[in-house]
A and B are shown apart, each in its own frame.
Chain A
Amino acid sequence: MSKHSPRDRVTGTPFTRGLGVVILAGITLLIILAIFVSPADVNQGESVRIMYAHVPGAWLAYLAFVVTGISSVAYLWKRTRSLTWDRIAGASAEVGVLFMGISLVTGSLWGRITWGTYWTWDARLTTTAFLFVTYIGYLAVRGLGGTHQQRARRSAVLALLAVLEIPLVHFSVQLWNTLHQEASVAGRGTDVEMDGLMLFTLFLGVVVFTLMYVWLVLHRQRSLALDDMLDDSGLDNALTARRAEAQGVAR
């Protein structure tokens, strides 16, 4: 443990700095490939380039959701209970909401450009929207206050309820869409014939976004830990102060 007080500590380590460099390189390569080098699509033209932001964004939204779920289980299970899991769940949710937003906006734009509508009710997009709203609620509950353990337990239960809810929503919407024709239009539109370079760029995008997620969650998780540590060291100081107060009154 560093001798510095929580206020002096930073959340970076050699690992995250190295990771950051790799990410910057990756983003540069991704931008070059996605915007300039990779070919336009046969059907959609240049607008297919949105896919390089949308697909990784969506992938990450669901990865964050899974990570929050697993961390919540890890917190609730007595043998692995540790507030670190709670902080990972919270950090993952915050970063996840960001990527969910990116995924929704890019998906909407892509739809607008390609086939003229900002929104379709296909199961994937609708479920992502529900995921987004559910996680806004999750973050609201995390902010309710109380001890760290109370926050952790409440959030963990809520996250697991979300794990129950999201597949149900997805399934219901999918079932609902079999009654309508719009689903097949959306499906057709997003089928892109991909040549080797496009596939590689997409894969690169997923990798780079995942690394960004890891970097963001590591930092955010550490800053949450520092916040909690501040509260706790606050407890030690407050204990000392309160005991001194008792002494003072005794005189």
Chain B
Amino acid sequence: MIAHEPGIDVVIDLSDAVAVLGSFPALAGATLSVNRGEIVLLRGPNGAGKTTLLRLCAGLIPLERGHGQVLGIDLKNDRELVRHRVGVIGHNNGLYGDLTVSENVRFWGRTVGATRAEVDAALRRMGLDGRLADLPVSRLSAGQKRRTALAGLVARRAELWLLDEPHAGLDATGRDELDQVLKMAAAAGATVMVASHELERAAQLATRQVEVVAGQVREIGAP
């Protein structure tokens, strides 16, 4: 279970946030508020700024202008403190191909001091225990690799999951499995924000949709 800090229900709170890539304002004044336990779907065309929004909320890039708080931490001054409580999975999975599934998940769990039991629980939750656990990651399917990466987030006790096109490269089964996993994570107390082109999944997966267009955020409402 994810431990809750009392009184923090607003997990993401951005107001007119500007973030740049080089000199290009990928986020040109984004305003967004996300509560704990939500599964938010970020829609929008390529180049709209979805990835930048995710990286900003992860504390990975500086907040150039505007205000922003994630998990109660100020993005302008303390974004380093946000990182270990947030999990970002982008196009890559952040895995070590030569190591097995369980070795990878145990590695990520150990970065926060997770016990063997917690790591095993994470593997079980993602359906990665059993035969799969001892396979080197390089030999897994795309969907299995993605689940391994998410198992790492579980093992790390990440409170906010930021996923960039997580369905990409997965077949239909893989996508369904992924959605199940994300719903379970939200049910266990994590907050999930997914940038995706998978509009059909919105109804099954997300509790809320938001559109990112040309660096700004627009509410669409519940699907």
Contact = CB atoms under 8 A, between A and B. Distances in A.
Interface of A: 145-147, 149, 231-232, 234-235, 238-239, 242-243, 245-246, 249-250
B23 A243 contact: no
Interface in B18-52: 18, 20, 22-25, 28-29
B23 A232 contact: yes
A149 B62 contact: yes
A30 to B, nearest CB: 43
A106 B29 CA distance: 56
Given A149-B62, A235-B20, A239-B18, A245 B25 contact: no
B28 A147 contact: no
A243 B216 contact: yes
5 contacts: A145-B22, A235-B23, A238-B25, A243-B215, A245-B213
Contacts of B20: 147, 235
Main secondary structure of the interface of A (DSSP, over half): helix
A246 B215 CA distance: 8
Contacts of B24: 235, 238
B28 A242 contact: yes
A249 B44 CA distance: 11
B99 interface: no
B60 interface: no
Contacts of A246: 28, 213-216
B22 A243 contact: no
Nearest 4 CB-CB pairings of A with B: A246-B214, A245-B214, A242-B28, A231-B23
A147 B214 contact: no
Given A147-B20, A246-B214, A239 B62 contact: no
A192 B214 CA distance: 69
A250 B217 CA distance: 11
